[in-house]
Structure 1
Amino acid sequence: MSLDNAIASSQSKGLAWRKSDTTWTLGLFGTAIGAGVLFFPIRAGFGGLIPILIMLVLAYPIAFLCHRALARLCLSGSNPSGNITETVEEHFGKTGGVVITFLYFFAILPLLWIYGVTITNTFMAFWENQLQLPALNRGFVSLFLLLLMAFVIFFGKNLMVKVMSYLVWPFIASLVLISLSLIPYWNASAINQVDLSAITLGGSDGILVTVWLGISIMVFSFNFSPIVSSFVVSKREEYEGDYGREFTEKKCSQIISRASMLMVAVVMFFAFSCLFTLSPANMAEAKAQNIPVLSYLANHFSSMAGSKSTFATTLEYAASLIALVAIFKSFFGHYLGTLEGLNGLILKFKYHGDKTKVSEGKLNSVSMLFIMGSTWLVAYVNPNILDLIEAMGAPIIASLLCLLPMYAIHKVPALKPFKGKAENIFVTAIGLLTILNIVYKLF
């Protein structure tokens, strides 16, 4: 066998699909499917059928190209075991590492605020609509729920991580089952409301603005960026020594592509099933009520007149419970990242990175007090969740997921092979459009 054939053979073996690749595909997919998915149908269906069809076309490119760009940045470091912070420090110095730590912390903290508002509203809606019990004080409910989660986190973190990892798949299965079970309740209201003669591109209600705002919720909902760094490190350690960085990049792209396809298929089917069961007017009402779509579905089936099917009766109670589980799962997962980020910032600025100057228990307690206190305050104020996502959560995620890798492509020699490619324009545009939501919300 010639040398070229031997190299080609070894490379093809390296790119063959492995069990570990399936594990990571499902891991990326499971990371993205969380509480954010429960708000995507509301924003996507808010403008009616045509905007959601455009979002369907954009969904896979946004999920795949943006996460692939971040993975390529993680791959560009010289240390195969180095995470994204080390890689950025290598390319841009310690200042770059501090900036990334800041961005990671402030990308995750607003998500906790969002989940704090969501879990309070979901619980109160279930209490009042399904259980038919008197309304409770909002401040008390949010404080009780957050103290309950703080208690679980403080005394059973390891158990919590294990339980949350097991809850991912029942939640995804529940979304698919609900999507399928809603089919008998589909109606043509979303189609009948399409009036081609009345469609406008501009204006606050135009297709372009609706899709623009929808991009933010897609960036938020189709997001597994927190796990990309760990994923890339794992694949580099598995492949790079034997097959080189180029083939490791191809393998990572292959896994990200399949995870993105799974994610888009599940989330978009769920969104369409909700839209065809409800209507754009119902989605607007759900946004005004500031509750996830599952809670609105529960209330919708609760208010149905006449005899109800077994599914309608089950969904009336199960939808809110599934939503609560999803929010708990997402809150716990993001809390750990927020705690790590805040601890890192405190160590960098107060203790100059010296962990010996402060006990881990004291550091965790101070960070928990700030995180839970700020989350309770936001949950009590009750800002609109979709507005909070579009103005804070999604723009910071986009700066990490889209703009940082695009900036690195123009500055880092190791990323030079990816410079000048057409998809870079798309990823940059998605990042800028998402960040510009802040300007739109202000004016």
Structure 2
Amino acid sequence: MSLSQDIPLSNEGVSSSSWSKHDTSWMLSLFGTAVGAGILFLPINIGAGGFWPLVLMALLAFPMTYFAHRGLARFVLSSRNDQADFTDVVEEHFGRSAGLVISVLYFLSIFPILLIYGVGLTNTVDSFIVNQLGFASPSRIVLSGLLVLGMITIMLAGEKVMLKAFEVIVYPLAAILFGLSLYMIPNWHLPTMSVMPSIGDFSLTVWLSVPVTVFAFSHAAAISSFAQAQRRHYAKAATEKAEHILKRTSMMLIGFVLFFVFSCVLSLSPAQLLEAKAQNVSVLSYLANIHDNPFIVLLGPVIAFIAISSSFLGHFLGARESFNGLVRKHSRLSSNATDKVGIVFMMLSIWGAAVMNPSILGMMEAFSGPVIAMILFIMPVIAVYKVESLRHYRGKVSNHFILVVGVLAVSAILFNF
């Protein structure tokens, strides 16, 4: 069962050059998938390395984001089967055994992040109830159960409801990010432009910043369902429309997120950024602590809740599709039964993680990170030179660029781990 099944098939006369409400809905859903809680740590993680590495990563952010997700969407749309999801496509192009391994890794790259968001959502709401509203901490079992059930109910309502939920969530998220970025402008102080790091320090900082930048803008979890929806909606124009939507999504991401990052970094000194990194707190928490600003104190949990909720929906979309594809191919369950088993399994797992509140989130991210980098950056490039239907993309500079970024991301993550 696919979420895209409640989108009616469009005829081939639909214009691929015009922009529709359908396109806007998917752009917002991809934006929401990318902008998770990680954005609150991005200014510290990148800015602590210095101003010039930040400038370079800002320049590279758009091609890294757009080319990588475009490549993954092209890969999903390269199947001969119009109904194929990611699991079907990897088996078609890489064989049953290799396809199974890649599909399992793909699921395991998304699922731990979903658990992290379940924990984060519960902690954020609990903290807001206690610290901002002044009430006693509610039962964690009940609170986490209601939150997880609410998120999953939105997904079960179908793709149209899910996309509508993204619209409701993402608009205030983008508005708050933009407003907060403007709010911090009076506190900006320009860095000393003449201070240049050594080549070695600069290279090391940029290398270790690659995975941070990659995953801050990643919406890979929703790409397979997104590509399927475009194929159903636009038929033969699906690839062209998918690329058009992804380009606008990347531009929106880069614009809002980088403005927020630069505004935060320019509001803090290098010493303060290093202190925030050592404290392992979000940039909003640190700003609230040093300025004792009730405006930022109130906005912090609101932004965190909206960001985690939107990213939860996008990652649940990918995990649900991946689980269904795996079980459907290796069991006798019907598609409907498989979907129900997957929903129950994921709901209980997320709920259980939220109740236990584990302290192994960093290890989960370390495991998911390299796999996402390989699937988002490396595998689609390999497919271009292996899959006949993708042969017309060979020899493009963007392929080499994405492959290099993927190798750098995987190696930097493993180096840090």
TM-score, with length taken from structure 1: 0.77
Over 3 Å counting, the alpha-carbon distance change for 1:39 and 1:319 in structure 2 is: same
CA contact (8 A) 1:116 1:142 kept: no
Contact kept? 1:121, 1:291, Cα under 8 Å: no
Question: Are the aligned partners of 1:71 and 1:229 in contact in 2 as well (CA < 8 Å)?
Answer: yes
Answer yes or no: is the 8 Å Cα contact 1:28–1:227 preserved in 2. yes
Residue equivalent to 1:321? 302
Alignment length (residue pairs): 401
| Paired residues of 1:108 and 1:393 also in contact (CA < 8 A) | yes
Question: Counterpart amino acid of 2:297?
Answer: E
Match of 1:146 in 2: 144
Quote how far apart the aligned CAs of 1:419 are.
Answer: 1.5
Aligned equivalents of 2:103, 2:253: Cα separation in 1: 27
Q: 1:142 to 1:345 in 2, by over 3 A?
A: farther
* Larger of the two Rg values belongs to structure: 1
Residue of structure 2 equivalent to 1:441 = 416
Unaligned runs of 5+ in 1: 1-10, 303-311
Aligned to 2:385, the other structure's residue is in SS state helix
**Which residue is 2:9 aligned to?**
none
Is residue 200 of structure 1 aligned with residue 198 of structure 2? yes
SS in structure 2 at match of 1:381:
coil
Residue in structure 2 matched with residue 7 of structure 1 by the alignment: none
| 1:398-417 pair list within 5 angstroms | 398-417=373-392
CA separation in 1, counterparts of 2:411 and 2:323? Answer: 26
Corresponding residue for residue 293 of structure 1:
283
SS in 1 for 2:81: coil
The equivalences for 1:132-171 within 5 A come to 146-153=144-151, 158=156, 161=162, 163=165, 165-171=167-173
Contact 1:219 1:397 in 2 (8 A): no
Q: Is the 8 A contact 1:63 1:223 kept in 2?
A: yes
CA–CA distance in structure 1, aligned partners of residues 139 and 367 of structure 2: 24
Secondary structure of 2:199 counterpart: coil
C-alpha root-mean-square deviation of aligned residues, in Å?
3.6
SS of structure 2 residue aligned to 1:187: coil
Deviates more, 1:169-178 or 1:100-109: 100-109
Mean CA deviation greater in 232-241 or 262-271:
232-241
Alignment pair present for 1:220 and 2:215: yes
State the distance in 2 between where 1:436 and 1:17 align: 41
Alignment of 1:32-431 (within 5 A): 32-115=34-117, 118-119=120-121, 146-153=144-151, 158=156, 161=162, 163=165, 165-188=167-190, 191-192=191-192, 195-196=195-196, 199-202=197-200, 206-241=201-236, 248-302=238-292, 312-339=293-320, 341-342=322-323, 345=326, 352-355=331-334, 364-374=343-353, 379-381=357-359, 389=365, 391-431=366-406
CA distance in 1, matches of 2:154, 2:223: 26
Report the Cα distance in structure 1 between the residues aligned to 2:289 and 2:18, rounded to whole angstroms.
45
1:157 and 1:383 map into 2 onto residues whose CA distance is 24
Inter-CA distance 341–295: structure 2 relative to 1 (3 Å threshold): farther
Partners of 2:221 and 2:319 within 8 A in 1: no
Listed one character per residue, the Cα deviations across residues 113-165 of structure 1 (whole Å, up to 9, x for unaligned) are 4435645775687689878999x8xxx99767534423435777657946455
2:4 aligned residue: none
| Runs (5+) with no aligned partner, structure 2 | 1-11
Contact 2:132 2:298 in 1 (8 A): yes
Equivalent residues of 2:369, 2:413 under 8 A apart: no
Tell me: CA distance 1:320–1:299, structure 2 relative to 1, closer, same or farther (3 Å). Answer: farther
Contact 2:222 2:318 in 1 (8 A): no
Whole-angstrom CA distance in 1 between matches of 2:226 and 2:165: 21
Moved more, 36-45 or 13-22: 13-22
- Find out whether 1:17 has 2:15 as its counterpart: no
> Conserved in 2, the CA contact under 8 Å of 1:294 and 1:320?
no
Label 1:439 to 1:230 Cα distance change in 2 as closer, same or farther (>3 A).
Answer: closer
Q: Which amino acid aligns with 1:18?
A: W
Question: 1: CA distance between counterparts of 2:192 and 2:139?
Answer: 41
Change (3 A) 1:31 1:105: same
Q: TM-score, normalised by structure 2?
A: 0.82
* Alpha carbons 1:120, 1:141 under 8 Å: kept: no
**Structure 2 Cα separation of the partners of residues 67 and 357 of structure 1:** 29
Contact 1:15 1:251 in 2 (8 A): yes
- Asked if the contact 2:49/2:205 (under 8 Å) is kept, the reply is yes
Tell me if structure 2 keeps the 8 A contact 1:179–1:274: yes
Is the CA contact 2:370–2:409 (under 8 Å) kept in the aligned structure 1?
yes
For residues 254-293 of structure 1, give each alpha carbon's deviation from its aligned partner in whole angstroms, at most 9, with x where no partner exists: 3322221121111111100010112333333333333322
Distance 1:280 1:144 in 2: 42
